[in-house]
Structure 1
Amino acid sequence: MVEHCGSHYNYHLCERCFVDLFMWRSHYNTQICFKDGFMLVKMSPLDGGHDCYLAPVGQGDLGAALDALEQDAAERGLPFVIVSVAEPMIERIEAVRPGKFTFAHDSEDGDDYIYLAEKLRTLSGKKLQSKRNLVNRFKTAYEGRWSYEDMTRENSKDAFAFHVHWCNLNGCARERDFEGETCAIVQALHNFDYLNLRGGLLRLDGEVIAFTFGCKATPDMFVVQIEKADHTIQGAYQMINQQFVQRNCNDVEYVNREEDLGLEGLRKAKKSYYPVMRGVKYVATPKG
């Protein structure tokens, strides 16, 4: 039902992906219902953020679906806030409820980074020369010692063990956001086949040094939900990125690598791959 409702709008935002909604449902206390052909979503972030709604997606009376969300907020005594509104959705909302909402760009921290799959596969062009160099150096330095393998239910345990190692390596094992991420990863890996996920592991001398997974979210876009690598091994991040895309993203035009969360290092890394576009997200609130 989630995918059916979402199929009526080809939004390139990660929040419109069922896998994201599912794996992060505990962290955001996500509630989903279906009404008159639309999917309605309410979230209550555990980090203390405000309760909010996603814009309805589906087919039918969009105005009535928006009214249903507003009524739900009123009954709960909540401010009515719609988050992660895609730019094309603004036009649709204005068409059915003209002048009712104010739309504001929330923050660049939450915008998705979207790349051409072909560029991530080949790392072609002058802008990505440094990435190519890192990949080539890794292959030369560890010739005969590295391997890439598709993720399965069996080796997903190795991926999770590396996630725990990664958290300890980066000193974030006890931070609340990473506790939420750990829960999300567990949910995804435990339901790997049911969610139609694709993933990969990078090994060096048999030990996992990176892993990633994601899903095909729309006919033309793949979403990478998680990517982690040992930053002390030069080229590990670039290798898992390219190896995975080469094997799993040949049937899409775009790869969405989600947001940078305002983390400077993550922002720098994602910008360094030169996204072809950004998945800009707006917040809609009733005027007055």
Structure 2
Amino acid sequence: MLPFCEITLKDKRAVEACGAHYNYHLCERCFVDLFMWRSHYGTQICFRDGFLLVKMTPLDGGHDCYLAPIGEGDLGGALDALEADAAERGIPFQLVSIAEPMIERIEAVRPEKYSFSHDNEDGDDYIYLAEKLRTLSGKKLQSKRNLVNRFKTAYEGRWSYEDMTPENVKDAFGYHIRWCNQNGCAQNRDFQGETCAIVQALHNFSALALKGGLLRLDGEVIAFTFGCRATPDMYVVQIEKADHTIPGAYQMINQQFVLRNCDDVEYVNREEDLGIEGLRKAKKSYYPVMRGVKYTAVPKERAE
């Protein structure tokens, strides 16, 4: 079996070096995502002949699965190594979260070997033009502009935005706990996993090269967010929380973060909606320029 082990901060440079060979706009290719969610998804990694190999455990309790190898070298050999690992573990081989351009690469080295499918839109990423999120220009985003302007007018002199630092991350986490209590999700398994992921990100804020921001009203945090540069042309926003009872709070934290951190990238990836109707509606309302579609692959003999 391959020597998989839990991903650590020491792996950051090597993971990013492998990812640099493919400019795929999926959040799973971001070291921060792999690291902060490692406990929730049982993420383990290893390196083989210039490739990053990733094994994960699905939340539905099914068999372990793999991400497509990324790196430079013998892609076919890396795929064969993953298949052999699955066979030794006695589990069916499955690749998940495959970027569309990766399908062509896989087909080039192992033609007609795998069956590719896209069965679940809940996991597709929402990707936006950074310029649109900064300016909220155009008729489609007029309602967002109005909410931002109304917030600024209603709370003039009372609101502030500040960059997240190692000194104020505790304020962000404190707000997350209040947010969970406010939304009745403190005991939900997914939100427990999210809390663990947020702890990991905030505790290692500087080491992960994260950028973040807090929105305050009368000195109290009412929203926070953080993210990182994942590719030369894209930022990923990992977490965003705001008080939904304050009109414009979500729109403000969204715009203020992008204004301060995403002026030199073309895209902002705001990740998936997880099938949550409210989240899906909110993400669609910003009109993504494209979706980060994620495919699954299994050997054809098993799919038939």
TM-score by length of 1: 0.99
Q: Are 1:273 and 2:286 an aligned pair?
A: yes
Paired residues of 1:29 and 1:46 also in contact (CA < 8 A)? no
- In the other structure, the counterpart of 1:5 is 18
Q: Are 1:214 and 2:234 an aligned pair?
A: no
Aligned-residue offset at 1:46: 4.6
Which SS does the other structure have where 1:26 is aligned?
A: helix
Q: Are 1:264 and 2:264 an aligned pair?
A: no
* Counterpart residue identity of residue 288, structure 2: P
In 2, Cα distance between equivalents of 1:253 and 1:33:
31
* Counterpart residue identity of residue 177, structure 1: D
* Counterpart residue identity of residue 28, structure 2: E
Query: Out of 86, 91, 99, which is 2:104 matched to?
Result: 91
- In the other structure, the counterpart of 2:95 is 82
In 2, Cα distance between equivalents of 1:177 and 1:106:
21
- In the other structure, the counterpart of 1:149 is 162
- In the other structure, the counterpart of 1:38 is 51
In 1, Cα distance between equivalents of 2:280 and 2:192:
21
- In the other structure, the counterpart of 2:236 is 223
In 2, Cα distance between equivalents of 1:47 and 1:149:
38
In 1, Cα distance between equivalents of 2:103 and 2:132:
30
1:9-44 CA deviation, whole Å, 9 max, x = no partner? 000000000000000000111110000000000001
- In the other structure, the counterpart of 1:159 is 172
In 2, Cα distance between equivalents of 1:230 and 1:137:
16
Cα distance change on mapping 1:49 and 1:128 into 2, 3 Å: farther
In 2, Cα distance between equivalents of 1:224 and 1:78:
33
Aligned-residue offset at 1:106: 2.9
- In the other structure, the counterpart of 1:196 is 209
In 2, Cα distance between equivalents of 1:49 and 1:7:
31
1:171-192 CA deviation, whole Å, 9 max, x = no partner? 0000000000000000000000
Paired residues of 1:213 and 1:227 also in contact (CA < 8 A)? yes
* Counterpart residue identity of residue 261, structure 2: N
Aligned-residue offset at 1:48: 1.7
In 2, Cα distance between equivalents of 1:193 and 1:184:
15
1:219-252 CA deviation, whole Å, 9 max, x = no partner? 0000000000000000000000000000000110
Report how many residues are paired.
Answer: 288
Aligned-residue offset at 1:47: 4.5
Paired residues of 1:17 and 1:217 also in contact (CA < 8 A)? yes
Cα distance change on mapping 1:140 and 1:255 into 2, 3 Å: same
Percent same amino acid among aligned pairs?
85
Paired residues of 1:52 and 1:81 also in contact (CA < 8 A)? yes
In 2, Cα distance between equivalents of 1:266 and 1:216:
23
TM-score by length of 2: 0.94
- In the other structure, the counterpart of 1:18 is 31
- In the other structure, the counterpart of 1:103 is 116
In 1, Cα distance between equivalents of 2:15 and 2:119:
25
Paired residues of 1:202 and 1:208 also in contact (CA < 8 A)? yes
In 2, Cα distance between equivalents of 1:24 and 1:30:
8
Q: 147-156 or 46-55: which moved more?
A: 46-55
- In the other structure, the counterpart of 1:132 is 145
Which SS does the other structure have where 1:148 is aligned?
A: strand
Moved over 4 A (4+): none
- Structure 1: segments with no counterpart, 5+ residues: none
In 2, Cα distance between equivalents of 1:61 and 1:249:
35
* Counterpart residue identity of residue 95, structure 1: A
Which SS does the other structure have where 1:27 is aligned?
A: helix
In 2, Cα distance between equivalents of 1:156 and 1:199:
9
1:99-157 CA deviation, whole Å, 9 max, x = no partner? 00000013110000000000000000000000000000000000000000000011100
In 2, Cα distance between equivalents of 1:269 and 1:49:
30
1:47-68 CA deviation, whole Å, 9 max, x = no partner? 4243110000000000000000
